[in-house]
């Protein structure tokens, strides 16, 4: 069972429908006890970093989420769910994140139109289980004003160019995350979600 963390940020139903399309059952995680039934975790999200952290904290979900990841359960962060993994963000002030991936969240350069909305290619600098069977430079759908800068470049599994080259996907042990929206990325996005669902627990 895949657990989708519902912390009041964004339309999560589209993620659930996409997982169902590729054959995976899911349930909402809205309180700490909900983690116990889930062997995989998805953290989606659209919105502001600071508010998202506040919502996770008020729901009592931060420590159970960290525990599930530390136990080795496959985890997928999507969009804001990628950014929250990092140490800090500068979105509307400085905020502390989950600190599960070393690095920070930065604003896209003012030389490009922000937010970055639409299709863009994702390069694959190394092999990743998320991109199995998906060709290099495949298009995925983005909606973002900020991007992640990992302290360790070796965790980067996908890159995109928009004003600058930035990490569009990461893989660190059982932890996976993408800046784009696979649930909005048609067939390639469905293939990526299916790859995640097949990663051994």
Active-site residue list: 79, 181, 183
- Alpha-carbon gap, residue 119 to 103, rounded angstroms: 25
**Beta strand extents in 12-162 (DSSP E only):** 26-29, 40-43, 75-78, 86-89, 95-96, 101-107, 116-122, 138-144, 146-150, 156-161
Helix axes 186-198, 13-21, angle to 10 degrees: 80
Tokens of 132: 């199995």
Coil vs helix vs strand at 20: helix
Q: What does the radius of gyration of the chain's CA atoms come to, in whole angstroms? A: 15
Contact 35, 25 (CB under 8 A): no
């Amino acid at each position: 069972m895949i657990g989708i963390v519902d912390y009041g940020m964004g339309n999560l139903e589209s993620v659930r429908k996409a997982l169902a399309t590729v054959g995976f059952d899911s349930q909402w995680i809205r309180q700490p006890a909900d983690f116990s039934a889930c062997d995989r975790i998805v953290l989606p999200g659209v919105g502001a970093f600071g508010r998202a952290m506040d919502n996770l904290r008020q729901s009592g979900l931060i420590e159970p989420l960290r525990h599930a990841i530390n136990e080795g359960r496959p985890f997928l962060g999507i969009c804001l769910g990628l950014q929250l993994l990092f140490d800090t963000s500068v979105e509307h002030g400085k905020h502390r994140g989950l600190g599960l991936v070393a690095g920070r969240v930065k604003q896209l350069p003012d030389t490009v139109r922000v937010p970055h909305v639409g299709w863009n290619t994702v390069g694959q600098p190394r092999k990743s289980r998320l991109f199995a069977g998906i060709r290099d430079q495949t298009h995925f759908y983005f909606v973002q004003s900020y991007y992640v800068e990992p302290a360790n470049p070796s965790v980067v599994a996908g890159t995109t160019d928009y004003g600058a080259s930035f990490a569009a996907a990461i893989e660190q042990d059982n932890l996976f995350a993408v800046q784009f929206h696979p649930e909005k990325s048609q067939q390639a996005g469905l293939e990526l979600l299916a790859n995640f669902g097949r990663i051994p627990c």
